[in-house]
Structure 1
Amino acid sequence: MGSAPSNFAGQPTVAGTASEASKALVQLGSIPVKGLAPKTGYTRDEFGPAWADTDHNGCDTRNDILARDLTGEIFKPGTNNCVVASGTLADKYTGTTINFVRGRDSSSDIQIDHIVPLSDAWQKGAQQLTADQRKELANDPLNLMAADGPTNSAKGDKDAATWLPPNKAFRCEYVERQTAVKAEYSLWVTPAEHDAIVDILKGCQ
């Protein structure tokens, strides 16, 4: 497993262009199309502890992604610019702007979404990955994005056949990233998911 492509790992991205859609269609062609495997044995723990510090920079993955995706962020004092206390998110799922303030009742306003949900990954090949590979998948910046909490909760573990971002302008990049993650980690897609991704990508060209 390699590192995330730079155009996905940082902000802003250049995804969603016609050339990126064409590349994603080619990449999709290399991904196996199979039925859904049983969810038997799935727990979040199969992908390692939530928000581990896999890049060993002293910050957990949640704070890394908040720092990457938010603007005007202010860090909690004494955390070596690690723990994000506040900031502003241009939410890609809804196309709205969300003000983030860390706190018991407000932190969940912004959640860190797995672009390819871990449960979905588990049923499409991740059971065959090693524990280290699954941990890498769960913490890979390519597969992570700060998002509106309620919208992320509504998404759940759905794939592209059953859920797409309400913000239609983001759908090209969304399925491009799903395709990239599934190719990177040797996961597969279901027939319905494959067709849904093709439909979106063809509209991006």
Structure 2
Amino acid sequence: MLRDGRTVRNGTETFIEIHRREYKSLPSPYIAYGNQICIDDTGYSFVDCKRKCFNEMLKKECSCTMNPSPTGNETYCVDDYHTNTCAAELYGAILQSSTLCVCPPECRVIKYDQVLSSVANKNDFQSHYLKIRIYLKDLSTTVTEQVPKYDGVTSLLANLGGQMGLFLGASILTITELLEFIIFIVWTVIQRRAKGKNAVRHIDI
């Protein structure tokens, strides 16, 4: 509601259909939302982080604040915010820049899809009024959840074994036989060297 506003015209009856969506991402060390690390904290809010950052920049750049304390001497810059002055220009710069007020996203995000449809009122009396009907499409929620590709060593070994079997034709039995063959070769070399040393000692005696 804070970021996804809608504009409707007077003299119409507007229907707003809403569907609830929930996105669950994994915290660090996993990467969420493309190339970012999300914050898994119920007390954290992306909107509050942006608001606090904007307010701190207002104090520094415009010498005013959006949240003055009751006992403080801060200047409330609501007038500057609505006119084309310091606060408005700063707000526009924050919207256009990706380096100002960098706030990580939340791991759990709830969004609402909206479908709008309007019908014009033909009655002259009703043309001065606006009627809005907001309703849920259904009582279900579409959940999109991020899961780790490898959930532990077992899944990693299973995937590795499947790739080896697909591209190399290898299996557990093949790898065991290869290890057995290598051990046999090493043992044979050690035995031959030991016999050679014994033969040299026998000749010297």
TM-score by length of 1: 0.19
Q: Select the structure that is richer in strand.
A: 2
Rg (Cα) greater in structure: 2
Report the TM-score when normalising by structure 2.
0.19
